[in-house]
Amino acid sequence: MTGSRGRWWSIALGLVVLGGATSPASGEQDFAGAGLARLLAQPEEVGEALRRDHIALLDGGDAGLFELLVIFESPLERVMHLLGQTGRQREYRTDLESSTATLAAFPDGALERQHMRFLFVDIVVYLRYRIDPDRHRIDWTLDPSYDSDLDRVEGSWDLYPLTADRTFGRYRTRVDIGAPIPRFLQTPTILRDVDAVRQWVDSGGTWRP
């Protein structure tokens, strides 16, 4: 275990100094430290996946919760800006239909009507997105004012600066469709969808699946 942890320190150090990175601003130092601590605490196989694919799935022991770590080859503020444009999700999400729309905009986010196709079934949900630029966090949950087709949808992005040009993201999602679906059937879809987000962000919003 000591050898694995030593390799993790080497990986983290390489991430921090890559490209002559500058230190994060004082208001971001706590978040940067938390991000690196999170990165260092993962098993070696997670580190290998991050180095190879820039995305890794964690096994948290909760069948309903999916948690992934992502490394964006983009500065923190750019990642935050693009992910905060929740109305653009059809650009990288192939499951969304054309009737998806932004119903309302708020100072801290938006209300989105999302029309999805899942296993040839139409699903409509109303999601309230909240964006916290100070904490570099975006989260979403079902809006109780509307009648959604799913019992539970929630998720979040937490972002941390790794270097001047790289960002570490922690993604969480939990969806309850009313019937149990084996985790091994959901995993490939989750990985594909989050990797599509990564590619879209790293392209500056120009990449398309």
Domain extents in the chain: 2-93+156-202
Which pLDDT score is estimated for 59? 78
128 with 109: CB under 8 angstroms? yes
Burial of 77 (0-12, 13-18, 19+ CB in 10 A): middle
Which pLDDT score is estimated for 24? 41
Class of domain 2-93+156-202: alpha beta
Which pLDDT score is estimated for 37? 61
Which pLDDT score is estimated for 9? 36
Chunked in runs of 10, what are the mean pLDDT values of the chain (209 residues)? 39 38 41 55 82 88 85 97 97 95 97 89 96 97 97 95 93 83 84 97 98
Stated pTM of the model: 0.81
154 with 174: CB under 8 angstroms? yes
Which pLDDT score is estimated for 117? 86
In which element (H, E) is residue 168 found? Answer: strand 167-176
